[in-house]
């Protein structure tokens, strides 16, 4: 009887762990963009394995009062929608997975990555 109880508890724990692993979805790879800091110096920022399905306001440019970032490059395994406004509002543009770097004329303040396909 103890073996059956132990086996049942083990299988239940395994099912719980597997269900939790799927809930923290992230695109795999890097998303980069450029911005100009407060001293007028061009910088580059990178999101590594960014979360999918939720809006991300980008570092140093994620407020509508700041100068937007530009030249985004999506080298992740999922498509992304980039937004000119903070909080994923305003003009938007889609960048495909592992695409080419966008031109510097494409401005960005926030992004939302698609949910990744089953791996």
Range with the poorest average pLDDT among 2-6, 15-19, 47-51, 93-97: 15-19
Number of domains observed in the structure of the chain: 1
pTM for the whole structure: 0.78
29-65 confidence digits (pLDDT tens): 999 999 999 999 999 999 999 999 999 999 999 999 9
Rounded CA-CA distance 85/110 in Å is: 7
Confirm whether 119 is domain-assigned. Answer: no
The answer on pLDDT for 17 being more than 50 is no
Give mean pLDDT, residues 70-93.
Answer: 98
The answer on pLDDT for 103 being more than 70 is yes
User: What would the two tokens of residue 109 be?
Assistant: 């303040």
Confirm whether 13 is domain-assigned. Answer: no
Q: Percent of the chain scored above 90 by pLDDT?
A: 75
Rounded CA-CA distance 73/62 in Å is: 17
Rounded CA-CA distance 64/86 in Å is: 6
Confirm whether 98 is domain-assigned. Answer: yes
Quick one: pLDDT at residue 64? Answer: 93
CATH number of the domain where residue 38 is located: 2.60.20.10
First to last CA, the chain: 38
Confirm whether 16 is domain-assigned. Answer: no
Rounded CA-CA distance 102/41 in Å is: 20
């Amino acid at each position: 009887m103890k073996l059956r109880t132990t086996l049942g508890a083990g299988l239940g724990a395994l099912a719980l762990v597997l269900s939790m692993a799927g809930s923290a979805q992230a695109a795999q790879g890097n998303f980069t963009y450029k911005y100009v800091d407060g001293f007028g110096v061009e910088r580059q920022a990178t999101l590594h394995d960014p979360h999918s399905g939720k809006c991300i306001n980008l570092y140093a440019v994620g407020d509508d009062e700041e100068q937007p970032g530009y030249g985004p490059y999506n080298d992740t395994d999922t498509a992304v929608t980039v937004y000119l406004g903070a909080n994923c509002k305003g003009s938007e543009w889609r960048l495909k997975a592992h695409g080419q770097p966008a031109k510097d004329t494409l401005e960005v303040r926030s992004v939302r990555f698609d949910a990744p396909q089953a791996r």
